[in-house]
Amino acid sequence: MNYPIVIYPCDEGGYVAEVPALRGCLAQGETLPETLEELEIVTKLWIETAQKHGQSLPDVDTAIEKAKTLSYSGSC
């Protein structure tokens, strides 16, 4: 699944990345590639756990539209 992600640098170094549509799904790493790799792992585990417990997953298209709305500033 291709949910939007948010990545931001940490004050103490490294990065944090999260999947806002999946509450609590976040990862951190020293480098951007490491952070994205960790996020891929925790996202997969988050989805597997939700499915195991019979929880429905957020709609990807809705998550994408919400991310576009939040990130669109109207200027280039």
Could you report the per-residue pLDDT of 46-72, keeping only the tens digit for each? 999 999 999 999 989 888 888 877 765
The total number of structural domains in the chain stands at: 1
| pLDDT in the model for residue 69 | 79
Q: What is the four-CA torsion angle of 27, 32, 37, 41, rounded to 10 degrees? A: 10
Task: Evaluate whether residue 1 is within a structural domain.
Answer: no
pTM for this predicted structure = 0.81
pLDDT of 76 > 80? The answer is no
- Phi, psi of 16, deg, nearest 5: -125, 140
Q: What is the CATH number of the domain that holds 56?
A: 3.30.160.250
| pLDDT in the model for residue 71 | 62
Could you report the per-residue pLDDT of 19-53, keeping only the tens digit for each? 999 999 999 999 999 999 999 999 999 999 999 99
Task: Evaluate whether residue 76 is within a structural domain.
Answer: no
